Structure 1
Amino acid sequence: MPQQALLVMDVQQVVTDRFAVDDYLPRLAGAVDAARAGGIPVIYVVVGFRPGYPEISPRNKTFAAVAGRAASLAGDGPTTRVHPGVAPAPGETVVTKRRVSAFAGSDLDVVLRAGGIDHLVLTGIATSGVVLSTLRQAADLDFELTVLSDACLDSDPEVHRVLTEKVFPKQAEVTTVDAWAAAL
Structure 2
Amino acid sequence: MITATPFDFPYDGRLVPESTALLVIDMQEDFLSPTGYFARKGYDSTPLRAILPTVKRLIAAARAAGLTVVHTRQGYRADMADMTPYETWRRKRAGLDGTDVLLRCGAGFQIVSDIEVAPQDIIVDKTCNGAFTYTDLELVLRSRGITHLLFAGCTTDVCVHSTLREACDRNFQCLTIADACASGDRYAHEAALHMVTVEDGVFGALADSAAVVTALSRLANGAS
Q: Same fold (TM over 0.5)?
A: yes
Please state if 1:156 is matched with 2:198.
Answer: no
Larger radius of gyration: 2
Could you tell me which residue of structure 2 aligns to residue 102 of structure 1? 131
Structure 1 residues 83 and 5: alpha-carbon distance in aligned structure 2, compared to 1, 3 A threshold: same
**Deviation (angstroms), 1:63:** 5.7
Residues 32 and 49 in structure 2, CA contact (< 8 A), matched pair in contact too: no
Deviations 1:140-168 (A, max 9, x none): 1000000001111011112111221x201
**Deviation (angstroms), 1:76:** 4.4
Deviations 1:28-83 (A, max 9, x none): 11111110111111100101221221111122489644762624333344222111
Could you tell me which residue of structure 2 aligns to residue 118 of structure 1? 147
* Matches for 1:3-152 after TM superposition, within 5 Å: 3-17=19-33, 18=39, 19-20=45-46, 21-60=48-87, 64-65=91-92, 68=97, 70-152=99-181
Could you tell me which residue of structure 2 aligns to residue 173 of structure 1? 205
Q: d(CA) in 1 for partners of 2:153 and 2:88?
A: 21
TM-score, length-scaled by structure 2: 0.75
Deviations 1:72-122 (A, max 9, x none): 333344222111111311221111011100111211111101111011111
Q: d(CA) in 1 for partners of 2:106 and 2:192?
A: 32
Residues 100 and 106 in structure 2, CA contact (< 8 A), matched pair in contact too: no
- Give the aligned residue type for 2:26: D
Residues 49 and 74 in structure 1, CA contact (< 8 A), matched pair in contact too: yes
- Give the aligned residue type for 2:213: A
Show structure 1 runs of 4+ deviating over 6 A.
none
Could you tell me which residue of structure 1 aligns to residue 3 of structure 2? none
Structure 1 residues 157 and 69: alpha-carbon distance in aligned structure 2, compared to 1, 3 A threshold: farther
- Percent of aligned positions that are identical: 28
After superposing the two structures, state which structure 1 stretch, 80-89 or 136-145, moved more.
80-89
Q: d(CA) in 2 for partners of 1:62 and 1:139?
A: 31
After superposing the two structures, state which structure 1 stretch, 58-67 or 10-19, moved more.
58-67
**How many matched pairs?**
183
Structure 1 residues 75 and 118: alpha-carbon distance in aligned structure 2, compared to 1, 3 A threshold: same
SS in 2 for 1:85: coil
Structure 1 residues 119 and 77: alpha-carbon distance in aligned structure 2, compared to 1, 3 A threshold: same
Could you tell me which residue of structure 1 aligns to residue 42 of structure 2? none
Q: d(CA) in 2 for partners of 1:122 and 1:63?
A: 28
